[in-house]
Amino acid sequence: MMARRTEACVFCEIVAGRARASFVHEDESVVAFMDIRPVNPGHLLVVPRQHLESLSELGEELGSRLFNVARDLQSAIRASGIRCEGINLFVADGEVAGQEVYHAHLHVVPRFAGDSFRVTADWPSPRPREELETVAAKVRNVAVVAGASDDGGGGRAPVTGLGLADDEVRIEPYDYSWPDHFAEICALIRPAAPDARIEHVGSTSIPGCSAKPLIDMSVALSPGTSLDTEAASACGLVFRAVNPEATLFAFYCPLGRRLANVHVRYRGSSSELWDLLFRDFMREHPKDVVAYGELKCQAVVAGDRTAYSRAKAPFIESISPRIHKWASESGWAPPADD
């Protein structure tokens, strides 16, 4: 996961007119201006007006606009008389990829024989097909491809966005819209439990964690109170199961996809506290987040829900001592009531 940056953003300053730049394009969503340290004459940057740090945050419409503007500007460079025998479109997405300004942007770089621009690597020999297919399967199982459709060969096109069918297992990269979806669903179900502590839990509550696109919600009632089942039904909650730790409800969208699992239990119960503690520990330990996400991506390849659940258990068991030690040393406490 890319670290979120808090310092002033030079691109935002340029977009707002508070810093100078040599513009070549402006519209309602995207601007383009000359790179202040050009690799070659004509090197320019295409930048969304909105401050979004990563390519994955752009969304389909804005991402398409960014690349369409870059396409048109590379044609303009070629026709301008600037020395140009080819064009590179280049994105540095993340610190290790060379990103220096944490505002998503696309480089358009004119190229000519003998220039200084280089992208070097120790290119290996071709890899075995089995190895490539294994890696491809990992990507396919989390891929969010806009406009994907059935390929005619009987394979089902990927379903993307928030929500799952009841028999579906799918992992997606972390989506910064998940907390917003939690807030929206929370407001809808609040009438069923007006005094409950409602918290976003599970993997979608942990920034950077790959997860099933399904919001897990903890609804912790005050002891001696109960969920208003009539209000719960009216706001879209559907009863699913009772277990010793919680009563499970699901929240569905009108098309029948399950958007959230809603775990109803009492405030201060062991299941509520564990979900909150696990979430808060993971938020502070990004290496564990990466390891957990990779494990889930591997476990989902077979598409077996039971095997997927079993695969996560050893990881959680292995870090539990560290979680409890961290809680003790940090003085962790559950969030205060609203």
How far apart are alpha carbons 309 and 296 in whole angstroms? 9
Q: Strands 197-201 and 106-111, how do they pair?
A: unpaired
pLDDT at 308 (0 to 100):
80
Residue 18 corresponds to which amino acid? R
Q: Tens digit of pLDDT for each residue in 206-225?
A: 998 989 899 999 999 988 88
pTM, 2 dp: 0.54
Task: Find where tokens 């730049």 sit.
Answer: 21
Q: CB within 8 A of 62, min separation 6: which ones? A: 29, 30, 48, 50, 52
Asked if residue 182 lies in contact with residue 223, where contact means CB atoms within 8 angstroms, the answer is no
Q: Which residues are catalytic?
A: 105
How far apart are alpha carbons 262 and 216 in whole angstroms? 6
Domains of the chain, earliest start first:
10-111 (3.30.428.10), 178-330 (3.30.460.10)
Q: 207 or 300: whose pLDDT is higher?
A: 207
pLDDT at 86 (0 to 100):
95
Backbone φ/ψ region at 176: left (φ over 0), alpha (ψ -120 to 50), beta: alpha
Q: Strands 258-266 and 197-201, how do they pair?
A: unpaired
Helix/strand/coil for 266:
strand
Angle at 109 between CA 27 and CA 17, to 5 degrees: 35
Helix/strand/coil for 161:
coil
Backbone φ/ψ region at 303: left (φ over 0), alpha (ψ -120 to 50), beta: left
pLDDT at 304 (0 to 100):
67
Q: Tens digit of pLDDT for each residue in 139-189?
A: 654 444 444 444 443 333 333 467 787 777 788 888 888 998 899 899 888
Please give the order of strands across the beta sheet that includes 106-111.
Answer: 23-26, 30-34, 44-48, 106-111, 86-90
How far apart are alpha carbons 97 and 121 in whole angstroms? 13
pLDDT at 139 (0 to 100):
64
In this predicted structure, the answer to whether residue 103 has a pLDDT above a threshold of 50 is yes
Q: Tens digit of pLDDT for each residue in 24-67?
A: 999 999 999 999 999 999 999 999 999 999 888 888 889 999 99
CB atoms within 10 A of CB 283: 14
Residue 248 corresponds to which amino acid? L
Asked if residue 45 lies in contact with residue 107, where contact means CB atoms within 8 angstroms, the answer is yes
